[in-house]
Chains A and B, each alone.
Chain A
């Protein structure tokens, strides 16, 4: 009954989304305030109904109701509650429901927090959001119904894929979707601005909170996914340039470019047309990613053809929601007035360069991901585009971005002084050179690019810090004065600084991969192997049972120069329900690096193939990403830029901005 109620709620949500898609749009054309107001109510209603549907599915999973096909295929009565719950979105139908839920969350967000927005803009944006909602709800109802019943109901479920039985599944998809889908609001606002044919600096101000929320969550979501892969795969890889990963990287790159160009638009009323274009682009990439993953086109072109309903449906959604706004864009863009002139050497100029480089990386990832598919379809020729290609092309550009970022961050708006900025960055530059020379001189192993990347990372971090210092520094000023100057800097400045510093941290972590150590050996109980500065002894191999698996685990002791450091327990887990096994790596964090141990199944002599790694500074990759996301959140907290900030805040904020120069 509850399941049917969920299904019914979803149908109602679809009906309501149709109202949301049409009434406010019509109302805005007629100037009818009541009709425009319908948008907000419909958005809230849609959120409540989709949430009910989601709750119903979650209930079916938690109660192990195997008469529901989705539960029978993806759950098991013996699974821990957390995996029963995360199993809700660990499958196609459920993940699309989560997608729609988050879509409706953002729509409701505009309804609740957008009261101070211009009425027409809000109505149009909600209408576009309603159209996206209608499209995806129709997709679920017509092709991917999670509430389908199964008769007769089996006694036991087929269990969730063991690889997905991990806390990562509980955290990663929701975070990623909050980012992915969050860009839908930015997209809706862009479409609304184009419908209205009017756009000004205030627009950037309205979408800023949503863009920052989406960007921060997307950053976190990608980082969590990467760490999940890292500890699950058994050899410590964390980024594979896999099409599925690229699908999340493209909206991130476009979103990063958007956040920067929107800042120019907000402050200087420039780059308006380009910002609108990026807003459309970012969500288009989200849709493209959904299509790539959901249609099965990645597995093979034939998988797509064998179940064409889903693929074709998403392709249709993709076509409508990319082509529509782009056509609108082509029609309206020439009418939008450009404002805010600036010299090439200026903060704006640097951000144009930043956007150019980020867009290029995005284009490379796009081509690299889709080229093999297109080529095979057109000529039948099969090629592979993998990590070595992306590392060479996109990697080089990302390093270029790391180099120019401190310059952009330090340049003044409108007309900058490149020489002055270069002088201020002397210390950072020297730091980078020292790191480069030291690494080349003392670490003879490792790939050639690693020292350069490490040097760039240090330059980026020191460059960011030196800008912070120079904002406070005045000759002859006391420490107290300087500290109060620091405290007076706007939060959005601190957010930017933290995000840039985080990017440097992450780059340093990436570069350090080149200086790690690896040992592969057969080990018996009592054997010792060394990796990097550590010696690792295999003490014993034993077995134990978990809730729905059995595992063989090794107890290992890590020592450094004979002194005890830590123990790890790498394991092999066998899941009976699906007859699959997984690797549980033994990981211990030492300083900022990690010792990473994975074992294979024991052979007849009782020996296991052990893979031992020392990965210096590897945690910086994810700590850096967290710092970036936190930077986004900090920027979001800036009270001047908060949604509907009260008017009196403006004068003091303006003073602070003047002081910050």
Chain B
């Protein structure tokens, strides 16, 4: 949250400066439900921070959403229902893992496409690099037999 203030290059520490995202008073009594809430909040973005999940963020809005998640889980909603509700309210922006859609297809396929492209490149390079050697002409066959027939194994 405080990271906006820090101008350092490439440092990693520009995230939070305050200990504690999930506060003791937020924790649900049922450990199973709490675990679900934690899993969910790790997948959701803190909307006012840069690239932080609400699980890691100390921003007030992140806390509000954490509480909202726990409230909904407590009311018996499934993870998918809670997620769908938050997306309807804040859009796909809140998901740290964007859904696979037409507009994100290139993102999701970047790995497979690169791999395929690379593999194709390797195939082309190999085909170009190693044309099969032409078969020996009868003259060469005769020379080979002559040399092999000398009895001396090639000394190297």
Residues of A within 8 A of B (CB): 89-92, 95, 161-164, 166, 168-169, 172-173, 176, 180, 225-226, 228-229, 232-235, 237, 240-245, 247-248, 289-290, 293-294, 298-299, 338, 341, 344, 352, 356-357, 359-361, 363-364, 366-368, 371, 375, 379, 381-389, 392-394, 397, 520-522, 570, 572, 578, 580-583, 585, 598-600, 609, 611
Contacts and interface: CB of A to CB of B under 8 A. Distances in A.
Contacts of A233: 13, 15-16, 56
Interface in B80-96: 91-96
A242 B3 CA distance: 12
A contact patch SS: helix
The listed residue with most A CB atoms (<10 A of its CB), out of B2, B7, B10, B110, is: B10
Interface of B: 2-25, 27, 42-43, 45, 50-53, 56, 91-98, 103-104, 106-108, 110-111, 114-115, 118-119, 122, 125-126, 128-130
The listed residue with most B CB atoms (<10 A of its CB), out of A89, A233, A357, A522, is: A233
Given A360-B114, A364-B111, A389-B97, A611 B13 contact: no
B18 A600 contact: yes
Nearest to A394: B111
21 contacts: A90-B7, A90-B8, A95-B8, A166-B13, A226-B12, A240-B56, A245-B12, A247-B10, A289-B10, A293-B10, A383-B92, A383-B98, A384-B45, A384-B98, A386-B96, A388-B96, A393-B108, A521-B24, A570-B19, A572-B19, A585-B19
Contact of B13 (A163, A356, A367): A163
Contacts of A248: 10
Contacts of A384: 45, 51, 92-96, 98
Q: Identify the 5 closest CB pairs spanning chains A and B, nearest first.
A: A386-B96, A234-B19, A598-B19, A367-B110, A229-B12
Nearest to A376: B93
Given A234-B18, A379-B103, A176 B10 contact: yes
A357 B103 CA distance: 25
A386 B45 contact: yes
B115 A360 contact: yes
B57 to A, nearest CB: 10
A240 B97 contact: no
Given A397-B111, A572-B19, A580-B2, A360 B118 contact: yes
A371 B114 contact: no
Contacts of B94: 384
Contact of B97 (A168, A243, A363, A386): A386
Contacts of A578: 5
B103 to A, nearest CB: 6
A388 B52 CA distance: 11
B37 to A, nearest CB: 12
Contact of B14 (A176, A244, A371): A244
B2 A163 contact: yes
Contact of A387 (B23, B25, B53, B106): B53
Contacts of B18: 234, 581, 583, 600
Given A92-B7, A240-B52, 5 more contacts: A293-B10, A364-B110, A379-B103, A580-B5, A611-B19
Contacts of B95: 383-384
B21 A235 contact: yes
Given A240-B52, A520-B22, A585-B19, A228 B93 contact: no
A26 B22 CA distance: 63
A293 B3 CA distance: 13
A384 B2 CA distance: 19
Given A92-B7, A381-B103, A237 B111 contact: no
A452 B71 CA distance: 34
Nearest to B115: A360
Nearest to B35: A445
A572 B17 CA distance: 10
A609 B24 contact: yes
Contact of B110 (A95, A172, A290, A363): A363
A388 B10 contact: no
Nearest to B23: A609
A168 B52 CA distance: 21
The listed residue with most A CB atoms (<10 A of its CB), out of B13, B27, B50, B108, is: B13
Nearest to B27: A520
The listed residue with most A CB atoms (<10 A of its CB), out of B19, B23, B98, is: B19
A156 to B, nearest CB: 19
A220 to B, nearest CB: 13
Contacts of A585: 19
